[in-house]
Structure 1
Amino acid sequence: MAEVLSQNEIDALLAAMSSGGIQAKPVEEEQKRVKVYDFKRALRFSKDQIRSLFRIHESFSRLLTTFLSAQLRTSVHVHVASVDQLPYEEFMRSIPEMTILASFEGSTLNGRMLLEMNPQITFAMLNRYFGGTVALNYVERKTGLTEIETVVLERIFTRFLHVFHDAWKDLIEIDPMLLELETNPQFMQIVPPNETVIVVSFSVRIGESTGIMNLCLPYIALEPIIPKLTAHQWMSQQRKTDSSEDVALLKGSVKRIDLPLIVELGRASITIEEFLCLEAGDIIQLNQPIDASLNVRIGPNVKFLGRPGTKKGHIAVRIEKVLDEGVEDNE
């Protein structure tokens, strides 16, 4: 508690100040902190919403890495470099004059969105698709894409949008659809120049080729789902994802994988001379008794035993036994 001065002490203090015995300290004026605000660059997304967008597109980058690695059969790495909000005009000035732009729209979102890819990685992908290597030095071209390159890129970007849908599906069903490809940014005005957009920049490495891929999401497109881009909403949406649904999705994906199935009627060993002398009507005796079960192979491994027969006029095999893991052959 502060000490209360008596009247005598107050009079003595004032007298000392008048005679110069005590130097009064000047009152420091509070410095006003002025923050510059650019009305042309309005910040419409909070930091929390930016973090949610970052997490969504981190998932997109991981899915895209897996997809491209399988398609190109080479080392591919995609990761989120930054998530920024800026005017559309500023974004268009930041990209090269010669680049690859794909516009698309979502069924549940308003307006168009853009996916921009640096030619360095675009032509590395095309070269790999056409059977070449990704270790090439990109030379800037004055002309646009050929008809074949356009068709292939449309297929690639369409698959990209499928991956984009998978990254967003826990929050909203987007169902994106590719609209057009363009190489000149001046012909791709999807929103007014001063409209705020979210630009998600990805660093992409395909083999030895590296480049930047940008995803441009206008405010008008994201406006219907902005309330969902909060940490609380994001975490609650993540908790809604049931592990059983993930298992079912994984099983569905595995079931669509093609595997070779081979039914062995038996084996026989002959010499090259006997093989060269084979004629129509010759009989090759197999090592398999006529009443024995046949080996049914999945890939190189024997997984089932079965009996040959017919069904509705077609050659068929009836599975009689499922073999344990590790059984390689039925002698």
Structure 2
Amino acid sequence: MSDILSQNEIDALLAALSTGEVKAEEIKKESEKKVKPYDFKRPNKFSKEQLNTLSMIHENFARLLTTYLSAQLRTFVQINVFFVEQMTYNEFISSLPNPSLISVVDFSPLKGAAIMEINPSIAFSIIDRLLGGPGDYSGKLREPTEIETTIIEKIFTKMTSILNEAWKDIENIQTKMEKLETNSQFVQLVSPNEAVALITFNAKIGKTEGMINICIPHIVLEPIMPKLSTRIWLATTGQEQSSSAKEVIIDKVHDTKIQLRVELGRASITIGEFLGLSVGDVIRLNRDIKDGVDVRIRDKLKFSGSVGIHRNKMAVKVQKIYYEKEGSYE
């Protein structure tokens, strides 16, 4: 129906109203515009699907980081994605303790930077373990010393390289740690009301538990937002995993050791004859020397060849390949 009614349409509508076929309340409900509430203070710039994709990406990051820290610290390490949500940058910064261990991470080739933050209790537990201690930190929060800062910078640098690996299915990013801060108020990457994606990990190292946070502003991810689709991510990772799995299997098969046996021939003798064998005795085999020898993989005939010497060692030259077909060889 057009916006402007013709005279015939108006007459038909009035007739329907007078007979009760159409009610005025129904027309009023249809004409009302549907209004969707929108919070200008906290705009939803990340869809639920995009947050789910970020969660899956960083679950892979958590697994890789767990493997790395377990090998380095030689103790029990467990890191899992706790939650992924959208919030404003100001809300995230205000939630951080002071002092904190905050790494500003460049997200090249994307424009802008992200934040990687480790809870001080976890950070000092890692430092204590690397320096030969038990790794159970229960002291007060404090500023790290110069030596501790150097150690934690190396941990952050490794975490950025692991982040590259986790993101490679979506975008070939080359993250790099720009600086390390201990006061969250000195880290102002974007405006306070800018939307950010916060990925929070629950970390347990030995008996110490704490949080690890990755905060990525929407403005950084905006150019690749269409790629943050669960379907695209699963399709990409599925192809790469199947290809990678195939290469691993091929490498394993190539390096597998098998038992190879060369059979000169066969003979049947009695136990008495066997017990009476001595040096210089001759056992007559069931085949002529011109027939060559059988080369078997375990008990299956695979090749035939001739016996000889190669570089002063006994050797067999393969002359024929047998293919197993319906229980026989040809």
Normalising by structure 1, we get a TM-score of 0.63
Q: Does 1:152 align with 2:151?
A: yes
SS of structure 2 residue aligned to 1:58:
helix
What does the per-residue CA deviation read over 1:160-188, in whole Å, with 9 as the maximum and x for residues that have no partner?
Answer: 11111111111111111110000000000
Aligned equivalents of 1:248 and 1:81: distance in 2? Answer: 33
SS of equivalent residue, structure 1 residue 122: helix
The question of 1:109 aligning with 2:110 is answered yes
Where does residue 193 of structure 1 map in the other structure?
A: 192
Q: Deviations over 1:120-144 (max 9, x none)?
A: 1010001011110112313122xx3
Tell me if the contact between 1:123 and 1:138 (Cα under 8 Å) persists in the aligned partners: no
Residue aligning to 2:68: 67
Structure 2: segments with no counterpart, 5+ residues: 1-24, 252-312, 315-330
Structure whose CA Rg is larger: 2
What residue in structure 1 maps to residue 3 of structure 2?
none
The residue aligned with 1:176 is 175
Deviations 1:271-315 (A, max 9, x none): xxxxxxxxxxxxxxxxxxxxxxxxxxxxxxxxxxxxxxxxxxxxx
User: How many percent identity over aligned positions?
Assistant: 42
Secondary structure at 1:40's aligned position in 2?
Answer: coil
SS in 1 for 2:122: helix
Q: Deviation at 1:247?
A: 5.9
Letter in 1 for 2:235: S
Higher mean displacement: 118-127 or 234-243 = 234-243
Residues 206-257 of structure 1, C-alpha deviations (whole Å, 9 max, x = no match): 00000011100001111111100112211221233153435658999xxxxx
> How far apart, in 1, do the equivalents of 2:144 and 2:248 lie?
37
Stretch deviating more after TM superposition (106-115 or 233-242): 233-242
The one-letter amino acid paired with 2:84 is V
Would the aligned equivalents of 1:202 and 1:214 in 2 still touch at CA under 8 Å?
yes
- Deviations 1:38-63 (Å, cap 9, x if unpaired)? 21111101111111111111111111
One-letter identity of the residue aligned with 1:209: T
Higher mean C-alpha deviation, range 232-241 or range 108-117: 232-241
Equivalent pairs, count: 228
Residue 305 of structure 1 aligns with which residue?
none
CA contact (8 A) 1:110 1:221 kept: yes
Q: Distance in 1 between matches of 2:250 and 2:121?
A: 37
Cα 1:250/1:172, change in 2 over 3 Å = farther
TM-score (norm 2): 0.63
The 1:54–1:250 alpha-carbon spacing in structure 2 relative to 1, beyond 3 Å, is farther
Aligned-pair Cα RMSD in Å: 2.8
Return structure 1 stretches of 4+ with deviation > 4 angstroms. 32-36, 246-252
179-188 vs 132-141, which deviates more? 132-141
Q: 1:135 to 1:37 in 2, by over 3 A?
A: same
* Residue type at the aligned position of 2:130: Y
Question: Counterparts of 2:229 and 2:222 in 1: how far apart (Å)?
Answer: 13
- In 1: Cα distance, 2:128 partner to 2:104 partner: 23
Q: Is the 8 A contact 2:121 2:137 kept in 1?
A: no
Give the whole-Å Cα distance in 2 for the aligned partners of 1:213 and 1:177. 18
**Could you say which residue in structure 2 is the equivalent of 1:235?**
234
Letter in 1 for 2:79: V
Distance 1:75 1:251, change over 3 A: farther
Amino acid in the other structure paired with 1:164: L
Aligned in 2, Cα 1:240/1:134: closer, same or farther, shift over 3 Å?
same
| CA–CA separation in structure 2 for the residues paired with 1:222 and 1:71 | 32
Matched, 1:76 2:84: no
